[in-house]
Structure 1
Amino acid sequence: MAGETVYADLTVSTEPLSPRAQHSSPWLCTSSQHPRWQKISLWISWIGNVILLAALIVLALQLEQKKGKSRMNVTTLTNMVECNASSDSFKSHLRSRLCNQTSVNSTCQVCPPHWHLHKDKCYLFQSKNTLKSWNDSQDDCSARNAQLLVIQDMEDLDFLTKNIPNMHENYWIGFSWSLPMKKWKWVTGSQVNHAVFQEKKPQEDKYCGAIKNKKILSETCDTIFRWICQKDPTLI
C-alpha cells in the first residue's frame, strides 16, 4: 500500500570472528602493507640499475683505454720508421759530404776535428805548448777515449814521419818496459814488430818509450815530452 512504512529488525552478532574468517575477509587487511613492499621493490630496482650503469661505464672506459694503447703503439711504430728513414738519409748525406761516398752499403770512417785518419785509426799530435810525463800523457789520451800511439808496421811509421809536426822532437808513444817480463810491450799488450824496431834493454830507469826521427828511444818516464794519441774512428 502506498505510503506505508516497513520496519525490519537487523540482528548483529556480537561474537568475535574466527581466525580463519579474519584472514579470509578482505576488509581486515591493513592498507599500509602494499605501499611498503612497493617502496622496497622500487629501491631494489633502482640499485640494480645503478650497478648496471656503473658496469657499463667501466666497460666503456676499458675499451677506450685499449683503443688508446693501440693508437699509441701504431703512432710509436710509425715514428720509429720515420726516424730510421730520416737517420739513414742523414747518414747517407754525411757519407756523401765527408767521404765522397754514395753507396748505401759503404761505410765512412770519420775522426774528430784535429785528428788524422790513417787506415783504421785516428791520430792526434799534441801541440808544442803542452808537455807531459809518460803517465800523464796516457791519462790525457784515456780522457779522449783513446790511448798512446801503437806502431804496428812500417806503413804506420811512414805515416807518422809525414804528419808529425816536428820529427826532431820527442813524442811519447804507448811503449814501455815490463819489469816482470823484462821486455818491451805496447799498451795494448801486443808484441813488438822486430821488422820495425829492434828491442834493446833500457838503460838505468828509462822504462818508457818515445819516438824521434823514426827511432824508438827509452827515456825516464817522468821526463816531459809531447805525445801522440790514437783511437778508432766513428763509422757512418
Structure 2
Amino acid sequence: MEEEGLTYAQLIFHNQSQTSSSKTSLPQERKGQAPTKVKSKEVNSNPLWFLLAFIFFIISLLLLITIIALAITYSRASQRLVHEVLKNSNLTKEQNQMKKTLSLLKNARCMTTGSGSQCTSCQVGWWLYSGSCYYLSNDKLTWDDSRKNCSNSQSDLVVVNNNDEKEFLKKNIHESHWIGLANKEKEGRWQWVDNTSYTTTPKFSSYYKRINRDNKDCVTLITEFDYDNCNETRKWICEKKAQQLPL
C-alpha cells in the first residue's frame, strides 16, 4: 500500500512538476521572443522616420527659398514699376512743357495764311520779320566789306521791298546803316543787290533828291534813304530768308 501510495503520490508530484515546468517554460519563451520582436520593429522603424524627417526638412527649406526668391522678385518688380511710373510722370511733365514752349514758339514765330500756319525761325542775334531774318551790326565797314560780311552768313545787304519793312527797320536802328541799294554800275541807275527794280520799292524822299550826291553811290538808312560815299564806314543790315520750322 505504501509503495502504491508513494508511487501514486510521486506520480502526482511528478505530473505537477512537469505541468509547472511546462507553464514556467512557456512564459519564458514568450518573454524571450516578445522583446526580440519589439527590438526588431524599433530597429526597422528608426531609418524610416529619419528619412521622412529629412524629406520634410528639404521640402521646408525649398519652400523657404522659394518664398524668399518670390519676395525679392516682387520687391524688384515693385521698384521697377515705381521707377517706370516716375519716369513716365517726368516724361509727361517734359512733354507738357515742350507743348507749352511749342505753343509760345508758334505764337511768336508762326503766321497764319490761307493755306494754314507757316512757322519760321532765325538764328540767335537775328531779328525775325515777315518771313525774313535781319542782322543789325555793331561794327562799321565800307559798303563792299559790309556786303562781304553778310555773304559769310549766307545773306546779303537788306532789300527794302515795302514801307512796312522800312518802318520795321527804322524802329530798330538809331544811326545810319548800309542797305543793299547802290548806283555803282551805271550812273543814275539805282539797283538793289538782288536785282529788284528800284521803281517797285520805297523811294528817296524829295529832300534827299535835291542834295549834292557827288561820289555818293551807296545808300544808308536811318529815318529815310540817304546817299553816302561807298568807302565810308557805317553799320550795316543783313537779310536772309527765315528757316521753316517742321511743326
TM-score (norm 1): 0.52
- Displacement of 1:132 in angstroms is 0.4
| Alpha-carbon distance between aligned partners in 1 of 2:213 and 2:227, rounded to the nearest angstrom | 8
- Residues 76-87 of structure 1 aligned to structure 2 (within 5 Å): none
Contact 1:110 1:235 in 2 (8 A): yes
Where does residue 226 of structure 1 map in the other structure? Answer: 235
Where does residue 110 of structure 1 map in the other structure? Answer: 121
Higher helix share: 2
Contact 2:170 2:222 in 1 (8 A): no
- Displacement of 1:191 in angstroms is 1.0
Q: What is the RMSD of the two structures over their aligned residues, measured on CA atoms?
A: 2.8
| Alpha-carbon distance between aligned partners in 1 of 2:204 and 2:222, rounded to the nearest angstrom | 15
| Alpha-carbon distance between aligned partners in 2 of 1:218 and 1:152, rounded to the nearest angstrom | 18
| Alpha-carbon distance between aligned partners in 1 of 2:137 and 2:148, rounded to the nearest angstrom | 13
| Alpha-carbon distance between aligned partners in 2 of 1:159 and 1:178, rounded to the nearest angstrom | 27
TM-score (norm 2): 0.50
Distance change (3 Å), C-alpha of 1:232 and 1:183: same
Where does residue 119 of structure 1 map in the other structure? Answer: 130
- Displacement of 1:97 in angstroms is 5.1
Matched, 1:148 2:154: no
Task: Give the secondary structure class of the aligned counterpart of 1:197.
Answer: coil
Count of residues paired in the alignment: 138
Equivalent AA in structure 2 for residue 122 of structure 1: C
| Alpha-carbon distance between aligned partners in 2 of 1:178 and 1:133, rounded to the nearest angstrom | 14
Task: Give the secondary structure class of the aligned counterpart of 1:107.
Answer: strand
Distance change (3 Å), C-alpha of 1:195 and 1:231: closer
Distance change (3 Å), C-alpha of 1:195 and 1:222: closer
Contact 1:95 1:108 in 2 (8 A): no
Task: Give the secondary structure class of the aligned counterpart of 2:183.
Answer: strand
Equivalent AA in structure 2 for residue 198 of structure 1: F
Matched, 1:170 2:179: no
Matched, 1:188 2:194: yes
Contact 1:209 1:219 in 2 (8 A): yes
CA deviations 1:205-228 (Å, max 9, x no partner) are 211111122x11111111000000
Where does residue 99 of structure 1 map in the other structure? Answer: 106
Contact 1:185 1:191 in 2 (8 A): yes
| Alpha-carbon distance between aligned partners in 1 of 2:183 and 2:121, rounded to the nearest angstrom | 33
- Displacement of 1:124 in angstroms is 1.0
